[in-house]
Every structure is written in structure tokens, then in C-alpha cells.
Amino acid sequence: MKTFKTLATLLFTSSVLYAQDIPKNQVPSVVLNQFNIDFPKAKDIDWEMEGNIYHVDFELGWDQDVEAWYESNGKLIRLEEELSRKSELPQAVIATIEKNFQSYEIDDVEKITENKNEYYKIELEKGKKEITININKNGTLIK
């Protein structure tokens, strides 16, 4: 029993150290200023710190959830945007899905931008079966 408690304590402590909610006043001003420039209409903002990276969850409008990661110098290094409509996908991405996954329906879509590379993380479903694929903006499947 003592081993179990020790293990449970270690797991909880390590998860807290990995990503920790922080109040806005603990986010460096350079990060906050850049975030406000990048997303002036952001609402329902929650900050976390993951190592030395600042992770922020927020909403744009009533139907778009967004996550962004900033370095401590204010540089945006990753952006995940939830897309709510198939029409927001590039035609090349739609064509790849229609060609390779004909019997699947699009469930969820995220547009991910990292190091100036843009791709789409797409959950597809067919009945009870679900798969997740990544496709770049040119329609190429990414492994």
C-alpha cells in the first residue's frame, strides 16, 4: 500500500510539473502583448506553463476554440485552430479525403501551424470506427 501511495504521489507531482495553470499576472508582458496583438478578440482565456513555454487556450467567437504556444520572448511557435465547417478546408485537402477515405465522414478538424508549416489534423469516422489523419495544405498525407 505504501508503494502505491508513493507511486500515485509521483505521478500526480510529475503531471503538475509538466503543465501548470498560471494566472495572467505570471505571464511575461512580452508574451501577453504579443498574444493581444495576435488575437485581439480572444475570450475565455486560460494560461498554462509547460516547461519554459506558455500555452494559452481561448475562444474566437462562439464556435472556434484555439490553442497557442509562445516562447518566453513572445514568439508564437504553434497554433491549433478548431475548424467547424468542411468549407474551411483547402480544396486539395478535401480532394485527398474524397479519394482515399470515400466511405468516411469528417468528424473534427484542426488547422495546425508550426514553424510556418501548415497542416490539418482530421478525425474521420465510419460507423463506430474512427481514424485520425494529418494532411498538409497541398493535400499530401503526412505520417
Give the tens place of pLDDT for each residue, 24-76. 999 999 999 999 999 999 999 999 999 999 999 999 988 789 999 999 999 99
Residue 58 pLDDT:
97
Q: Does the structure show a pLDDT above 80 at 19?
A: no
pTM value is 0.79
11 within a domain of the structure (yes/no)? no
**Helix, strand, or coil here: 48?**
strand
27 within a domain of the structure (yes/no)? yes
Give, for 30, the enclosing helix (H) or strand (E).
helix 29-38
Please state the rounded mean pLDDT for residues 97-114.
95
1 within a domain of the structure (yes/no)? no
Domain that holds residue 104: 21-142
Structural domain tally of the chain?
1
CATH of the domain at 100: 3.10.450.360
**Helix, strand, or coil here: 84?**
coil
Q: Among residues of the chain, what percentage have pLDDT more than 90?
A: 77
